[in-house]
Amino acid sequence: MPLRRSPPTPKTTTQGASHNPIIQTTSQNNAATTSNLKIPRDDDISINVTQRKKSDSDAGIKLYIKEMFDTFSGDIQQRFVTLQESVTKIKNQNDELQKSVCFLSDSYDSFLKRFEILEAEKIEDRKYIKLLEEKINYMERKSFSSSVEIRNLPSDQFQTKREITDVIMKLASTVESPIILAEINDVYRQRSTSKASTPIVAHFTTVIKKEEFLSAVKLYNKSRPKEQKLNTGSIKLNGPPKPIFVSEYLPFGVRRLFYQARLFTKENSYAYCWTSHGVVFIRKSEGAAHIQINSEEDLLKLKRQD
């Protein structure tokens, strides 16, 4: 037979409704809501005010920075414009300078080319002038190839052609090379502003006669001591004896060249310098070959060689 038991008697609780799940849940929700709705404290209010002030301060700083940046940007922009204008001005100046340099360069090239042309023309002109001088000297030598020059005869005693002719014939007789009147083509004294005796120039009719007369004078002087060489006493002229010099007549160009050749021989230790038939010769030493001097350039070449 089955055992039947009676259900247990429910116990009475002292907690009452607190053990009711619904009531408990509601109470928990209310507590949560209450916890979320906190009452603001003084510290929270102070923090909010500070944050608002900080936001206002940040906005002011941002505005100041923006204004400063705008001012700086405007200044930079103005400076950039000024710099750009300066660069443009400098560029224009450089362009003008480049044009000037190009013009000067072209002008220099033109002047240089012209200078080279003038230099070449000068060289050609010098060659041509030298050629003309040589021709003139040659013609003068030919023209005066039969002439002699007599120096140191008193000017006050021999003025006219007749007087000069007579004294020349007397000189020729003294040196034992007689001359007749027909052998003399012309005689005259050279003009001079000096009061000293001026040279006498005598043109013979032939070169042979001139050479005979010069050779006789050289032989006369060579065969006598210094005090007895040809002088004014030799032809019976009044006054103290003065040496008389007879040589072939040299045209101006040859005379100048002969003078320079004599200076050259002294300065460069050459032994001899003389003329023959209007041509200048020099010699380094006894027995050495003679050197014909036709122009000043010949002397310069010899100087460079030494």
DSSP secondary structure string for all residues of 154-215: -TTT--SHHHHHHHHHHHHHHTT----GGGEEEEEEPP-SSSSPPPEEEEES-HHHHHHHHH
Answer whether 152's CB lies under 8 Å from 247's CB: no
Please name the amino acid found at residue 37: L
Distance set, CA 209 to CA 184, 185, 201 (Å): 9, 11, 15
DSSP letter (8 states) at residue 155: T
Instruction: List Cβ neighbours of 23 (8 Å cut-off, separation of 6 or more).
Output: 17
pLDDT at 62: 83
Tens-digit pLDDT profile for residues 23-65: 444 445 444 444 444 555 555 555 555 666 666 677 778 888 8
DSSP letter (8 states) at residue 22: H
pLDDT at 109: 92
Residues of the chain predicted below pLDDT 50: 1-3, 10-27, 29-37
DSSP letter (8 states) at residue 149: E
Tens-digit pLDDT profile for residues 236-257: 888 888 999 999 999 888 899 9
Structure tokens at 41: 């404290």
Answer whether 215's CB lies under 8 Å from 176's CB: no
Instruction: List Cβ neighbours of 245 (8 Å cut-off, separation of 6 or more).
Output: 150, 151, 152
The residue to which tokens 């000068």 are assigned: 122
* Helix count and strand count (H, E) for the chain: 6, 7
Residue 151's nearest CA partner among 87, 232, 95 is 232
Residue ranges with strand state E in 87-178: 147-151
**Can you tell me the distance from the alpha carbon of 79 to that of 85, in angstroms, rounded to the nearest whole number?**
10
pLDDT at 276: 87
**Can you tell me the distance from the alpha carbon of 157 to that of 124, in angstroms, rounded to the nearest whole number?**
51
Residues in the chain: 306
The residue to which tokens 């120039």 are assigned: 201
pLDDT at 18: 43
Q: Is the pTM of this model over 0.95?
A: no
Q: Does the domain made of 145-249 have the CATH classification 3.40.449.10?
A: no
150 forms beta bridges with 200, 246
**Can you tell me the distance from the alpha carbon of 269 to that of 283, in angstroms, rounded to the nearest whole number?**
10
- Domain ranges in the chain are 56-144, 145-249, 251-306
